Structure 1
């Protein structure tokens, strides 16, 4: 069985199973290129926007409500 190689151009290292799989571009990367920033993921902006939206929803959900009494 042949080893899966890193999807980063000109990298010949073996791809890391599971931790090297990019859910955004579907590439398979070595330890050096596994992070979105390191392999210049073409969907990096989508990832950032999605994370920002999730954080904003979580913050709104945890927002403290002030109860005013007359």
Structure 2
């Protein structure tokens, strides 16, 4: 009986919203442009990250909650 309750807890949708980091995007070349002066090549990155937020009405299982944790 306990095993069935655990399985049901992982399969029944949960009323949670998951916040997780998105993929970093290198925007050094596309976001910054300089004209009218000498420009030196860059070797680094300027990464911008995004945040992924799920919809409160989305289907989130216990597995999704554990994976996001």
Q: Judge same fold: TM > 0.5, yes or no.
A: no
More helix by share: 2
CA radius of gyration, larger in: 2
TM-score (norm 2): 0.24
TM-score (norm 1): 0.23
More strand by share: 2
